[in-house]
Structure 1
Amino acid sequence: MAAGGKTIESNPSLPKELSFDYLKKITKNFSSELEIGKSPFGSLYKGIREDGGAITVKKLAENSPLSADVIFEKEVQNFMKDEHENIIKVVGYCREGRRKTVKSNRKYIVTDITETLLCYEYLPMGSLHDNLVDESSSNIDWGTRFNIVKGICRGIQYLHNLEPKPIIHLDLNPQNIWLDDNMVPKIANFEFARLFGKEKTHMNTKSDVGSVGYMAPEYLHEGEISAQSDIYSLGLMILEIATREKNHCGSDERHARKFVDEVSRDWRNKDVIMFEYPDLDVEGLNQVKTCIDVGLQCVEIDQKKRPSIEKVVKMLGLPSN
């Protein structure tokens, strides 16, 4: 389908440059009825193409915490050629200058702006967060939950081992894990991601950007970031998925120690796991126990005690990449 002089299907391995008018059309002028999510960086819309197919369109907010240039570089340029089953696929983008009328000091003026939009594959099941907090989430069987855990781990392993520079996501949480119609998880939203060279394993930043309740303590309090920052966030998600309990965390307790302590107290006993999962066989019960153990190792306050993603993958019985 033509858009901006290019066809969406012409080269499936690279994101396509799409026109603003085309994206405006397939989202019905970015209508509320097609809005499927919001973030500090913009709004997400379902875009319905003329052939009936769908894509997800992220329209970046003008007052986004990060500039459109930064987000564009992180989300598009870093993933233009690389694909992985557990990383969201960028299928298109728009960087287009427009003239817009705005109100300033009680007067209307015409100003030049650059619209920046990112387009992803459309995933009908929404985010992991949507499925975890939904009333029907308890109906998600253990096999599906375990596959979600394994898929997230594969995605993180891929990011942490990218050549020539690994990528640290820095905002791993259930809202940034999207699920396809087969409940395959895909890591999304790389606004805060950082590139690390082989010679660099730690970095300090003055800003503690990320999601409340999923930020590693050393990142939250010291601004120190490393691959272990992602491991901490991963551990919290594994615990949520395995226990079917939500990490409810307020602004005064941003790294979820209360939730971690409750899991450590209540879920280390095999009798508790058998009570919570009465229909599982021995293999399934051992998988739950392994996930609890792995998750608790990942959320150690001392980052040196957290396992690497390679060790996490090994403990879960996954083949190494």
Structure 2
Amino acid sequence: MVGEASMGESAQNETSLLSTLPKELPLEFFTEITSGFSKDRILRTSAFGTFYTGILQNGLVVCVKKLAENLQIPAGRQFDNEATNLLVAQHENIVKLLGFCRQITKKVVEHNARFILVDKDECVLCYEHVPRGSLRDYLSDDKMVPKIADFGLSRFFNHEQSRLYTINVAGLKGYMAPEYLFRGEISWQCDIYSLGVLIIEITTREKNCCDEKDKSGREYISSVRRTWTDEHITIKYMSLDADRLQQVKACIDIGFKCVDVNQKNRPSIVEIVDRLHGKRAG
């Protein structure tokens, strides 16, 4: 997934104050700090849910994510256990999870021309607020600290579920995998695709224009593939020695493998890390 850019020391101070919050909070708390999950508080939406600005009584700002209803969240203590595990994940490049909520509410729905009362899972995650927005805007700004959002979110899904589908396709233009964009199919390969676009963009320093008609970045990828030949890489990075040039070529190659239209051909994150460390596939 595309990450965020951190503001630095002020965000860290805010997070330290937020650490005094209880970890498991009632739904009413999140309803109150988001003004009833108001449309005016929406930051963005994704296939996994909607992000809202939450404002605490002391004025501090948090990011509240209400998970989409179509996600198959594990029942009982499993959700709580997974959320608790993610709460202890502390890393400067991970947007910190501050708290969570899972609450069963009643909802009236129409079924076979009748209105019935059903149980509805309300799942909410509370993150530190990252005010500088998308990492895309800061790819060339070396004073910013990149942060991965929604780290570990896949752990909340049914463990037997390798993919799910949504009719609410939403995401960052230029980074969405074709199978997600056109079929609403969500799987770990979608994140690999987005990562591949980022690797290509960072390595080549060619900006992804994110055109409305090119939400998967295919035109951008094709342009880079045509232009960034071995000769072009050598010219662009004339100051690098042979080993460093090989590293640049390897990164671009990894990026192209990640954005394969056929998701089955995309490498796993383990394979990507091995390649970045100079290991060859067996």
Q: Do both share a fold (TM > 0.5)?
A: yes
SS of equivalent to 2:74 = helix
For the pair 1:297 / 2:254, whether they are aligned, the reply is: yes
Q: Is the 8 A contact 2:37 2:52 kept in 1?
A: yes
Equivalent residue of 2:148, what SS?
Answer: strand
Pick aligned residue for 1:142 from 127, 140, 146: 140
- The unaligned stretches of length 5 or more in structure 1 are 1-6, 148-181, 196-202, 218-222, 275-280, 316-321
Looking at both structures, which has the greater relative contact order when contacts are Cα pairs under 8 Å and sequence separation is at least 6?
A: 2
Tell me the residue number matched to 1:91: 98
Structure 2 Cα separation of the partners of residues 205 and 17 of structure 1: 28
AA matched with 1:299: F
**Structure 1 residue 38 and structure 2 residue 36: aligned?**
no
Q: Distance in 2 between matches of 1:102 and 1:230?
A: 34
The alpha carbon displacement at 1:122 in A equals 1.1
Distance in 2 (CA, whole Å) between partners of 1:309 and 1:264 is 22
Taking the aligned partners of 1:305 and 1:94, their CA distance within structure 2 comes to 31
> Which residue identity lines up with residue 74 of structure 2 in the other structure?
D
What's 1:69 paired with? 74
> What letter corresponds to residue 243 of structure 1 in structure 2?
E
What residue number does 1:171 align with?
none
2:200 is matched with which residue: 214, 217, 239? 239
Give 5+ residue unaligned stretches, structure 2.
1-16, 180-184
Q: Is the 8 A contact 1:60 1:68 kept in 2?
A: no
1:248-259 equivalences in 2 (<5 Å)? 259=220
Name the counterpart of 2:150. Answer: 188
**Distance in 2, Cα, partners of 1:313 & 1:303:** 18
Q: Structure 1 stretch 18-27 or stretch 296-305: which is displaced more?
A: 296-305
Aligned length: 236
Amino acid at match of 2:224: V
- The SS at the match of 2:226 is helix
Pairing 1:113-262 to 2, within 5 Å after superposition: 113-128=120-135, 132=136, 137=137, 140=138, 142-144=140-142, 182-188=144-150, 190-192=152-154, 205=162, 215=177, 233-241=194-202, 242-246=205-209, 259-262=220-223
Residue 231 to residue 38, structure 1, CA distance change in 2 (3 Å): closer
Q: 1:205: how far off? A: 4.7
2:12 is the alignment partner of 1:48 = no
Q: How far apart, CA to CA, are the structure 2 residues paired with 1:93 and 1:206? A: 24
Q: From the superposition, tell whether residues 127 and 292 of structure 1 become closer, same or farther in structure 2 (CA, over 3 Å).
A: farther
Partner of 1:309: 273
What is the CA–CA distance in structure 2 between the aligned matches of 1:216 and 1:313, rounded to whole Å? 28
Percent of aligned positions that are identical: 26
Taking the aligned partners of 1:54 and 1:236, their CA distance within structure 2 comes to 31
In structure 1, what is the Cα distance between the partners aligned to 2:246 and 2:178?
23
AA aligned opposite 1:67:
Q
Output the aligned Cα RMSD.
Answer: 4.8
CA contact (8 A) 2:49 2:68 kept: yes
Task: For 1:48 and 1:249, locate their aligned partners in 2 and report how far apart those are by CA, in whole Å.
Answer: 33
* SS of residue in 2 equivalent to 1:38: strand
Counterpart position of 1:267: 228
Counterparts of 2:239 and 2:82 in 1: how far apart (Å)?
Answer: 42
Structure 1: distance between partners of 2:227 and 2:199 = 15
Name the CA distance, whole Å, in 2 between partners of 1:305 and 1:69: 25
- Kindly indicate whether the alpha-carbon contact (under 8 Å) linking 1:267 and 1:273 is maintained by their aligned counterparts in 2: no
